[in-house]
């Protein structure tokens, strides 16, 4: 019992001289409360007859439940970001799909341009020394081409770069810079 209100009932049995610890859930509320246990009925295990108990109610205990602490500013900011992100996910999926449809022709054009540029740079010019900075455009083109050739890789990199931009914007908003 808490504040003279029943919060639960737990059936149990005991043999002579035994003790048992029982509990029942209770959602704490801030304030001062009085707790005690009460046995509402008892029966003799041998005869199944009701028996009277000398002490059917335990001693009362007073407790004080403090107010829950206010969430920190960081916890509130995280909650706001999580809430905003959770509500934005379906829309983000639609936007990403639309963006990929728009980006696909650009990606294919990029592949064509990179392949052409790479083909033109395959053989070093007479004035270039392989392995020096003058050969850097060829190495860069060779690195970029596989990214543009794979729609999946290109899309993943686009989405990841978009997420980085969103994180930067969220941080700027949180700091009041936007």
User: pLDDT tens across 69-83, in order?
Assistant: 887 776 677 677 767
Residue 11: pLDDT band by 50, 70, 90 thresholds? Answer: confident
Name the CA dihedral angle for 8, 9, 14, 17, rounded to a multiple of 10 degrees.
Answer: 40
Q: Output the pLDDT for position 3.
A: 92
Q: Output the pLDDT for position 47.
A: 87
User: pLDDT tens across 114-155, in order?
Assistant: 677 667 666 555 555 454 444 545 555 566 667 666 666 666
pTM passes above 0.75: no
What whole-number percentage of the chain has pLDDT above 90? 5
171 Cα distance to chain centroid:
18
CA-to-CA distance for 37 and 2, rounded, in angstroms? Answer: 9
Q: Output the pLDDT for position 132.
A: 46
CA-to-CA distance for 114 and 111, rounded, in angstroms? Answer: 5
Q: Output the pLDDT for position 175.
A: 77
Q: Output the pLDDT for position 31.
A: 92
Q: Output the pLDDT for position 86.
A: 63
């Amino acid at each position: 019992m808490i504040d003279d209100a029943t919060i639960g009932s737990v059936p149990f049995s005991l043999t002579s001289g035994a003790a048992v610890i029982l509990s029942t859930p209770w959602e704490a509320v801030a304030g001062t409360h009085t707790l005690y246990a009460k046995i509402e009925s008892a029966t003799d295990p041998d005869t199944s007859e009701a028996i009277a108990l000398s002490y059917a109610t335990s001693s009362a205990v007073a407790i004080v439940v403090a107010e829950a602490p206010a969430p920190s500013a960081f916890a509130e900011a995280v909650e706001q970001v999580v809430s905003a992100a959770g509500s934005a996910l379906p829309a983000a999926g639609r936007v990403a799909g639309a963006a990929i449809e728009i980006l696909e022709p650009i990606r294919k054009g990029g592949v064509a341009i990179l392949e052409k540029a790479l083909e033109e740079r395959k053989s070093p010019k007479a004035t270039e020394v392989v392995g020096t900075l003058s050969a850097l455009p060829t190495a860069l083109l060779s690195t970029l081409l596989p990214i543009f050739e794979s729609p999946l890789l290109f899309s993943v990199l686009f989405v990841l770069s978009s997420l980085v931009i969103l994180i930067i914007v969220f941080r700027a908003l949180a700091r009041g810079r936007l």
